[in-house]
Structure 1
């Protein structure tokens, strides 16, 4: 097995090379790259089974080319980042990474990630593209001579069964001979002809699979239409396969108008939703949490939003949960391990309702532990005060005294804690938060400056304008005009 290590830090590269040689990992050849250009050249030349890549080394403008190269020439990817952000998590999802690690790296975690990725590759290697170029040509080149072919995309819910899916399809007695092309986590079947649209044949094959393996399978069928090439229908099938995130497996999925495009979804919680989560968690309201998640994620109908946007929205909820954990000092030990497992589940679990189930169960355990922590008086006063400030910053009468009372401390002591731990005074934090909300409303709404001042805790429009000039050296109106001009200019 070949491994390419794409990492800017020389010491990191050598440490990983040593780790591979020191442990019993089924990796025979290791190549290293210090730049994106070196990585792409190695991938094209060696087509390695495994890539370790530092996401931070790939500039934004090179992301498209880099990901295309990785998907085409590499079977498994381990990503690493120094920025534990939603953006990095989304990039890891785009690359369908086996694992996403956060620096500084723990050797034990890196070893486990390498071992897992290596075992997946050993269980189901896909052919080298140059070895079967002619077989795979229809998937990557437009050839309108094959417009009469039926195109199927077959995937098991469990990625570890990918090799078994290929074996099963290769030996299955289809009524018409199929060409089976293994890909990462899935297989393509090409049929010169099939009765009807092929749906009956697909259901029969899937039932036979489940009788033998007792694991769910999904089949996307793309009948010929006399106009679209195999490549065009293969790309459409990959897009259709993503609907399994919402409808689950044990499905034969055919093209339909409601599946043709994703609907819009704001992946981040609104300020009102953030307040809802603060209140539900603070009140230990298990049932409200369950209802919110089920109402939000369990009743969608086509057209669906992009699965990536839904995963990002789930990580936005995790951000609120993380803050709650810190408040009750539960960000370590067993709860921390469960939180990290849930984070991985959100990134990689192929079915939405399973993620929501795990999230609800985790929150039940978390709220139970938080209530115990509350009873033991182990609540962080600063976090409690900050949550109160976050909830009430729109109230122009919010005072240090009220906040300190909510935190269970005297005003002088709470002010001291805030300055010591966060490096800001009560007034500085409050002004900054109100200003952030005012900027958001200026960008996203047509509310007047007076209305925005009323909604963000500034007593008058004049005071809001004065703060704006002091902090940003421009008026609110000038800021809004500038943002609109920026949005309307060509990218």
Structure 2
């Protein structure tokens, strides 16, 4: 008689695909049930009492895990867990319910089938007292397992080396694992895919052989992939031997050395990394220096400071997290400079956020410094454009003010400067730079253009036009008009035939 299987996964397509695969396999399975709902999955587990439960552990709450744990006390039940992330929490949850295996998505059909076959073999063999103790015994037979890595196991690994393969893209972890299997085939290797890396344990070789194999795999990888791959080797061949958990924790520090030495390399370590002390915050003097360099837009000084401060660090290195903190302190000074020019929205704001993420997450220091320097250049470019735009806007607003108030014979430079909240002498400078005219000349041009319009389009007298256009004296108006248009106001009106349009001059006129 065959086994019954329950597939519990949030992805309905995953459920259907696994059901199709298992129902057509040669495994001794009578029935396959599926569920994409947490509550329904629990009910099916309790009511159907399936022999094998393939469950996406991410979809179950801690309360549900407690109920599933109670089901695991029955020795005839086997759990196979799947997860999208190899985190400590998910691994411990799988261990807690006595899972026979933890498959990381996307897993291959062959890996799932192998896990199902092992579960079927356990179901058909002598029943142990309970599935939890059985799982612990099985894990104990394998010194390189998730249970050993995330549990409290204190037994050291046999002599060998722990190799951590770290792809530049975390999404390439499963591809890394598959290509490692292909590289070492038909030899079986101890391998654990995790979030962001793949751990491999190779016994009974010397350091030179391990490094040679690692370099060979890097070449093998680069022929097939664009994603950079780094490799960290930690020798565990000499006493005192370490546990898998201790090796992993120390290798995590070693993997940080990619930050200084770059990717696409094999880094080998005979002992744990020791970080030196380092102040991650800018001192008052450093803050003042950065304020001055930014205010002066001194590209050369900024580049020299970045390169000497971060790209010439020598061993022993400070922890990369401290360097990242220092870089964010510099970014804070750049942010202050951005606020001076109101550069807090649009493309430059998006670039700022991307630079901040780069500092926090980019694996290699050199590329972080390069990105930061490029961002500073963009900030300076935007600041220059903003400054030019500010000049343009200021003059445009001031001209608009003159066009609305030209009739006021008392209008002064100070009035226009107050309207745009600028110093009068600075506004006068901007007028000359933007229009090529002084403030007085620009105001006179606006008044004369309006006077010309009134001469041609209205029957107003010269005296009336003089007052309406802000001139105090008709003689001064006539002299300026003649200089601008080559004729007196009266002669200009006659030459254009405008007088014929107004045969009867009104005595009273209302200014609108």
| TM-score, reference length from structure 1 | 0.52
What is the DSSP-based 3-state SS (H/G/I as helix, E as strand, rest coil) of the residue aligned with 1:209? helix
Deviation at 1:124, TM superposition (A): 7.5
Query: 1:158/1:336 Cα in 2 relative to 1: closer, same or farther (>3 Å)?
Result: same
Residue of structure 1 in register with 2:264 after alignment: 250
Judged with a 3 Å threshold, the aligned counterparts in structure 2 of structure 1 residues 175 and 289 are, in CA distance, closer, same or farther, namely farther
Residues 248 and 351, structure 1, Cα contact 8 Å, conserved in 2: yes
**1:191: how far off?**
2.0
Q: Is the 8 A contact 1:342 1:358 kept in 2?
A: yes
**SS class of match (1:254):** strand
Q: 2:315 aligns with which of 274, 296, 302?
A: 302
Is 2:91–2:147's contact at 8 Å kept on the other side of the alignment? no
| 1:167 positional shift | 0.6
Q: How does 1:20-419 map to 2 (within 5 A)?
A: 41=62, 49=83, 69=89, 135-140=145-150, 141-144=152-155, 146-173=157-184, 177-197=188-208, 198-223=210-235, 224-231=237-244, 232-256=246-270, 260-377=273-390
**Rounded Cα–Cα distance in structure 1 between residues aligned with 2:82 and 2:311:** 40
Q: Report the 3-state secondary structure (helix = DSSP H, G, I; strand = E; otherwise coil) of the residue aligned with 1:172.
A: helix
Tell me if the contact between 2:234 and 2:270 (Cα under 8 Å) persists in the aligned partners. Answer: no
| 2:193 alignment partner, SS class | strand
Distance 2:176 2:378 in 1: 37
SS of the residue corresponding to residue 146 of structure 1 reads coil
Q: CA deviation at 1:48?
A: 8.8
CA RMSD in angstroms comes to 3.9
Where 1:152 maps in the other structure, the secondary structure is strand
- Which stretches in structure 2 are left out of the alignment for 5+ residues? 1-8, 12-34, 40-59, 69-80, 95-103, 116-134, 393-420, 425-512
Q: Which runs of 5+ in 1 are unaligned?
A: 4-26, 32-38, 52-66, 75-120, 380-406, 411-491
Compared CA separation, residues 326 and 221, structure 1 to 2 (3 A): same
2:435 alignment partner in structure 1: none
**Kept in 2: contact 1:149–1:230 (CA 8 A):** no
The separation in 1 between residues aligned to 2:356 and 2:323, in whole angstroms, is: 13
Displacement of 1:228 after TM fit?
Answer: 2.1
Deviation at 1:154, TM superposition (A): 0.9
For residues 159-192 of structure 1, the C-alpha deviation after alignment (integer angstroms, 9 at most, x for no partner) is: 2211110111122127964111111111111223
Mapped partners of 1:266, 1:73: distance in 2: 39
Q: Deviations over 1:330-362 (max 9, x none)?
A: 110110011111111112111111111111111
CA contact (8 A) 1:267 1:310 kept: yes
Distance 1:207 1:249 in 2: 13
Q: TM-score, normalised by structure 2?
A: 0.50
Q: How far apart in 2 are the matches of 1:352 and 1:124? A: 33
5 Å-filtered alignment, 1:416-427, equals none
Separation in 2 of the partners of 1:327 and 1:337?
Answer: 18
1:205-249 deviation digits (Å, cap 9, x = unpaired):
212111222432211112221322242222221110111011111
1:359/1:209 CA distance change after superposition, 3 Å = same
Residues 417-468 of structure 1, C-alpha deviations (whole Å, 9 max, x = no match): xxxxxxxxxxxxxxxxxxxxxxxxxxxxxxxxxxxxxxxxxxxxxxxxxxxx
CA distance in 1, matches of 2:323, 2:391: 34
Deviates more, 1:139-148 or 1:362-371: 139-148
